[in-house]
Chains A and B, each alone.
Chain A
Amino acid sequence: MIRTEEMLLNVGPQHPSTHGVLRLLVKVDGERIVEAEPVIGYLHRGTEKLAEDLSYTQIIPYTDRMDYLSAMTNNYAIVHATEKLMGLEIPERAEFLRVIVMELNRVASHLVWMGTYLLDIGAMSPFLYAFRDREQILDLFNELCGARLTYNYMRVGGVKWDAPAGWIKKVEQFTTYMQKQIKEYHDLVTGNEIFIGRTKGIGSYDQQTAIRYALSGANLRVTGLNWDLRKDAPYSIYERFAFEVPVGEDGDLYQKYLCRMKEIDESLKIVAQAVGEFPSEGKIMGKVPRVLRVPEGEVYVGIESPRGELGCHIVSKGKDKPWRLKFRRPSFYNLQILPILLKDENLSNLVAILGGIDIVLGEVDG
């Protein structure tokens, strides 16, 4: 008789398929995963502690380094929470610029996910296509604020830089171009038999589990729940734009892929509308005192980042520095469900399931 023995397999922390520095302790019996335990903290920089000694404006660049694939939404989370506590009015032009860059950033982030995910499960070329298109977004950002990844673009009360001449036109051109590209991706990937075989029916979970584990973003919507903070707890000027929230059915990996691809579509729709209605002139900074003293109080706001609900909890004691700052980091919550999903799964599905969650370790570790 063949006897199998349990073996402890160490995955990471330095391994390309863990998307950063995640370590997994996997107990395997043959090819079956008996138990998996994520070990995190390798990228912990103590942002929340550091923020207690920084002024509100000084914190913004630190948030760039959390979810470094989508720094614009991170910028917005802290800025929005501060504005809420101070009760500030934001000029319309600034709000438009914010929405445009946040949605473009969502497209860029999803493109990275799509490319690296397919790379994970063995397809090389979509990665190259995705990065080619993402590069155009980064070029647009570079022109706007001089950085490709760590933008430090938003400020309490508005944005730092106005759109340079011709920038809006370029965004418009990109939107049209990208909408065509999506079709190419669908031709290339969506109907691919190997891809379907690797993802359909794998790693699924039900809605109740998703809610209990406080999943958010595509990880929650894939179970069929229509929950998007841009619609359900509107912030900024999202109420003005018409867009849909893509949902899945049974929460498997293939549905997650479809959800995120549709989200790119919807984001492009928002960008197109925002570009069309973009105010031709106006201020980009509201009336803000030179030294920001946030009134005593407490505020929690959540926004929809590409990975899910990105929350910012500020406790202020009326000083120019926050008393306590806490980020609800969506990847940190989403990753928690991994041991449940991996249990009794085949080892070869490990990378596919982990990649499907779409984590950014800078955000998990904070």
Chain B
Amino acid sequence: MSEEEKKPPVRPKPAAKKPEPKPLPPSPKQPVMDALATTLKEKFGESAVMEGYINQPNDHLCTLIISRENWLPVLQFLRDEHSTPFDYLQNASAIDYETHLEVVFHLHSLEKKEMIAVKVRLDHENAELPSSTALFPAANWNEREMFDLMGITFTGHPDLKRILLPDDWVGHPLRKDYVAFDKEV
């Protein structure tokens, strides 16, 4: 046998290919999600719910994207009228996706031990949202924080001013286009 025959033929390595994301199995929460989306659409019109999906890694969290016009009515409905009253504001956060801004409220029903995420999308230039302080007093400082760090104006807020940064600060640090004054820090 010659030297060449002994060696197994060297195969070129297959080009690194991204594995196709497997389609997720249907979530057990899907009926809950569908019912909720249908109720909201019936009550506030077809355009009220822009998107609804289930965040599977996060314990099948129902996530709704609400149109800006219906933001407050939907929150009120979820708090007071829905069969599962989401009356506890667990977390409020804002995210800069570069294409748009997003405000997300994580609401909890202490009675039924259910959780839901409600989102609303905003433009960078016209980042305005009606304040939900009257519904959730807990949102007061949250909205001030979002105003301070993300530059979202909440109309109708009782005391909208910076909360964590000094009053004379320029810019909103959590925006992705924010330029830090001192790069070293």
Contact = CB atoms under 8 A, between A and B. Distances in A.
Interface in A77-97: 84-85, 87
Contacts of A227: 110
Contacts of B115: 233
Contact of B90 (A48, A298, A309, A332): A309
A25 interface: no
Contacts of A295: 57
B96 interface: yes
Contact of A214 (B57, B90, B165, B173): B90
A44 interface: yes
Interface stretch (A28-36, A108-116, A321-329): A321-329
B9 interface: no
B113 to A, nearest CB: 6
A68 interface: no
B140 interface: yes
A300 B173 contact: no
Nearest to A41: B164
B132 to A, nearest CB: 12
B36 interface: no
A157 interface: no
Contacts of B117: 300
Most buried by A among B57, B104, B106, B173: B57
B149 interface: yes
B163 interface: yes
Contacts of A326: 91, 93
Interface in A33-83: 40-41, 44, 46, 48-49
B159 to A, nearest CB: 9
A223 to B, nearest CB: 12
Sort chain A's interface into a size bin.
Answer: 35 or more
Nearest to A232: B113
A233 B57 contact: no
Interface string A201-213: 0000000000111
B57 A84 contact: yes
Find the residue from B61, B162, B174 having the highest chain A CB count within 10 A. B174
Contact of B96 (A87, A213, A324, A366): A324
Contacts of B164: 40-41, 44, 365-366
Contact of B91 (A41, A225, A300): A300
A336 B57 contact: no
Interface in A308-338: 309, 311, 313, 315, 323-324, 326, 328, 332-333, 336
B138 A214 contact: yes
B138 A336 contact: yes
A271 B106 CA distance: 31
A297 B55 contact: yes
Contacts of A356: none
B137 interface: yes
A41 B144 CA distance: 12
A315 B173 contact: no
A1 to B, nearest CB: 35
Nearest to A233: B113
A302 interface: yes
B136 A212 contact: yes
A312 to B, nearest CB: 9
Contacts of B163: 40-41
B100 to A, nearest CB: 13
B58 interface: yes
B149 A48 contact: yes
B166 interface: yes
A315 B95 contact: yes
Given A297-B57, A365-B164, A328 B95 contact: no
Given A84-B57, A212-B87, 17 more contacts: A40-B163, A41-B165, A46-B173, A48-B174, A49-B149, A85-B57, A87-B57, A212-B137, A213-B137, A227-B110, A297-B55, A297-B57, A300-B90, A301-B58, A313-B106, A324-B174, A333-B141
10 contacts: A41-B163, A48-B149, A49-B173, A213-B138, A214-B88, A299-B57, A326-B91, A333-B141, A336-B141, A366-B164
Interface of A: 40-41, 44, 46, 48-49, 84-85, 87, 211-214, 225, 227, 232-233, 295, 297-302, 309, 311, 313, 315, 323-324, 326, 328, 332-333, 336, 365-366
10 tightest Cβ-Cβ pairs between the two chains A and B: A214-B138, A326-B93, A41-B164, A328-B91, A44-B164, A299-B58, A324-B95, A214-B89, A311-B91, A49-B173
Interface of B: 55, 57-58, 61, 87-91, 93, 95-96, 104, 106, 110, 113, 115, 117, 136-138, 140-141, 149, 162-166, 173-174
